[in-house]
C-alpha cells in the first residue's frame, strides 16, 4: 500500500481518495477536451487504470493475471475476433439479406424490431454478440451517418438493459446472481428476470419507439459501412486488440477505484446511490455491482442499484462493452456518443427514479 494511504486530510478523506478522485475526473472529461485522448481512448484508459492501481497501492500478481486473461477468458475478445472474421467473409450475404428486408419493410419498422429484438435477445446470446450483430445491421441500413449513430446509441442502451435478465447476458448480471445465490434470496437463473423484467422490458420497448423517432428517411445508397469498406483481416485483428486493451483498462480502473467504492458507496442511501451510480458511465459496472450488491440489501435496494448502473452504462463509450464494440467498429467518437447518450441517459435515470422510488407499486415507494 502506498504511504499516502495513511495520510488523513480530515473528514476521513485521504490523499489516496483525492488521487483516485482526480483520476476519475480525468477519465470523465479527458476524452471531451483533448483530441489526442479522444482518438487514443484505449491507451488513455489503460494509463489511467495503471495510475489508479498504483495510487491505491493494490498491485499484485493476481490482479495482473486477471487483467491479462479476463478479456480472453470472458470471451469478449474471442467473440469480437471470430465475429469480425465471419462478418468479413459473409458481409455480401448479410448485405443482400438486409437489402431484401428493406425493399419489403419500412426502415422505421426495421429500426424498431432491431432495437427491441437485440435488446431482449441479448440476455440469451450475450451483449457482446448483440453488439456485433448491431454493427453489421446498421452498416447495411441506408441512413445518413448521424442517423446511424443515433440508432446505434439507442440500441446499445436497449442491449445494456436487456442483457441483465439472465446471467448469460453480461458480467453485471453474472456477478449479481453469484452475490445473491445464498439466503435469503437463493437467486437462480431467472432471479433477475423475475425481479427486473417489469422495469427492463417496458424500457426496451420505449427505446424502440425512441429509435423510430430518431430514424431519418432512407437514402438511395446501397448497403455501405460508416467507415471505408476495405477492411482487411489485419483490421479485424487490430480492432480485437483495441477491445482487449479497453477491457483490460476498465478492469484496472475498477480494481484501483474499489477502495473509494467500498469506503463511500456502501453507506450511501438508496436514493443517492442510484444517482452516484452514474459513475458506471466511465467505470466497469461489474466492479460497482460486486461492491454494492449483498444479501443484506432489500429487493428494492438491489433494484435501485442495478437499474442505476444499467442505465448510466449507456451514456458514454466506456460505460458498457456493447458501446465500446460499436463505437470502435463504426468510428463513433466520444463527443458524438455523448451528444445523444448523455441526454437520453439522464431522462431515463429521472423516469426510473420516479418509478422505483415514488410510484405506488415501485419497490421503494412509500
User: 365 in a domain, yes or no?
Assistant: no
Please state the rounded mean pLDDT for residues 147-160. Answer: 96
- Cβ atoms within 10 Å, residue 313: 35
- Label residue 191 by pLDDT band (50, 70, 90): very high
| Cβ(363)–Cβ(304) below 8 Å | yes
Q: Is residue 339 part of a domain?
A: yes
Would 363 be classed as within a structural domain? no
Question: H helices of the chain, where?
Answer: 15-33, 35-39, 41-56, 61-73, 76-104, 107-125, 127-139, 145-162, 171-180, 191-213, 233-264, 270-276, 285-292, 299-312, 321-330, 334-357
Q: Is 148's pLDDT higher than 90?
A: yes
Query: The domain containing residue 191 runs over which residues?
Result: 3-357
Cell representation of residue 318: 466506456
Output the CA torsion sign for 259, 262, 268, 274. positive
Phi-psi region of 284 (alpha: psi -120 to 50; beta: other; left: phi over 0): beta
What is the per-residue pLDDT for 363?
61
C-alpha cell read off for 284: 466497469
pLDDT in tens, 262-321: 787 767 888 988 998 998 888 778 778 877 887 888 888 899 999 999 999 999 998 888
Q: 119 near 154, Cβ under 8 Å? A: no
Q: How many CA atoms lie within 13 A of 232 on its CB side?
A: 1
Residue 259 placed within a domain = yes
66 exposure class (CB count in 10 Å sphere: 0-12, 13-18, 19+) = middle
Q: Which residues, listed in sequence order, are joined to residue 8 by a DSSP beta bridge?
A: 14
Query: Lowest mean pLDDT: which of 97-101, 137-141, 202-206, 359-363?
Result: 359-363
* Candidate from 94-103, 121-130, 357-366 with smallest mean pLDDT: 357-366
Comparing C-alpha atoms, which of 306, 301, 314, 324 is closest to residue 347?
Answer: 314
Q: 94 lies in a domain?
A: yes
In the 8-state DSSP scheme, what is residue 363?
T
Is 364 among the domain residues? no
Residue 141 has pLDDT above 90, yes or no: no
Question: Does residue 313 lie in a domain region?
Answer: yes
For residue 242, what pLDDT band results from cuts at 50, 70 and 90? confident
**Angle value at C-alpha 162, between 178 and 141, nearest 5 degrees:** 145
Residue 33 has pLDDT above 60, yes or no: yes
Number of domains present in the structure of the chain: 1
Q: What is the mean pLDDT of the chain?
A: 85
Please indicate, yes or no, if residue 362 is contained in any of the structural domains.
no
In tens, the pLDDT along 316-349 reads 998 888 998 899 888 999 999 999 999 999 999 9
Tell me if 231 sits within 8 A of 88, measured CB to CB.
Answer: yes
Cell numbers representing residue 15 in the block: 490523499
Amino acid at each position: 500500500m502506498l504511504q499516502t494511504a495513511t495520510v488523513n486530510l480530515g473528514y476521513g478523506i485521504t490523499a489516496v481518495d483525492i488521487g483516485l478522485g482526480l483520476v476519475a475526473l480525468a477519465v470523465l472529461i479527458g476524452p471531451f477536451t483533448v483530441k489526442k485522448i479522444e482518438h487514443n481512448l484505449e491507451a488513455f484508459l489503460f494509463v489511467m487504470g495503471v495510475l489508479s492501481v498504483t495510487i491505491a497501492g493494490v498491485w499484485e500478481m493476481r490482479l495482473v493475471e486477471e487483467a491479462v486473461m479476463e478479456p480472453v477468458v470472458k470471451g469478449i475478445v474471442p467473440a469480437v475476433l471470430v465475429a469480425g472474421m465471419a462478418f468479413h467473409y459473409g458481409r455480401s450475404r448479410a448485405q443482400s439479406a438486409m437489402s431484401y428486408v428493406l425493399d419489403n419493410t419500412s426502415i422505421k419498422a426495421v429500426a424498431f424490431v432491431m432495437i427491441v429484438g437485440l435488446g431482449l435477445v441479448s440476455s440469451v446470446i450475450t451483449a457482446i454478440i448483440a453488439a456485433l450483430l448491431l454493427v453489421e445491421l446498421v452498416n447495411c441500413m441506408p441512413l445518413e451517418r448521424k442517423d446511424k449513430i443515433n440508432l446505434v446509441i439507442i440500441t446499445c442502451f436497449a442491449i445494456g438493459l436487456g442483457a441483465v435478465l439472465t446471467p448469460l447476458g453480461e458480467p453485471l448480471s453474472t456477478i449479481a446472481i453469484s452475490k445473491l445465490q445464498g439466503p435469503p434470496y437463493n437467486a437462480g437463473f431467472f432471479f433477475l428476470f423475475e425481479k427486473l423484467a417489469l422495469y427492463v422490458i417496458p424500457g426496451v420497448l420505449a427505446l424502440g419507439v425512441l429509435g423510430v423517432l430518431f430514424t431519418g428517411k432512407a437514402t438511395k445508397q446501397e448497403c455501405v459501412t460508416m467507415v471505408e469498406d476495405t477492411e482487411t483481416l489485419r483490421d479485424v485483428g487490430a480492432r480485437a486488440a483495441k477491445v482487449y486493451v479497453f477491457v483490460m483498462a476498465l478492469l484496472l480502473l475498477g480494481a484501483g477505484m474499489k477502495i473509494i467504492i467500498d469506503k463511500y458507496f456502501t453507506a450511501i442511501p438508496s436514493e443517492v446511490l442510484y444517482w452516484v451510480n452514474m459513475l458506471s458511465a466511465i467505470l466497469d459496472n461489474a466492479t460497482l455491482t460486486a461492491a454494492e450488491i449483498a444479501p443484506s440489501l432489500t429487493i428494492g435496494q438491489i433494484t435501485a442499484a442495478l437499474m442505476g448502473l444499467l442505465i448510466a452504462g449507456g451514456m458514454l463509450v466506456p460505460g458498457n462493452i456493447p458501446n465500446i464494440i460499436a463505437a470502435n467498429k463504426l468510428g463513433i467518437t466520444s463527443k458524438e456518443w455523448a451528444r445523444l447518450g448523455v441526454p437520453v441517459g439522464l431522462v431515463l435515470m429521472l423516469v426510473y427514479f420516479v418509478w422505483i422510488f415514488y410510484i405506488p407499486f415501485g419497490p421503494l415507494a412509500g
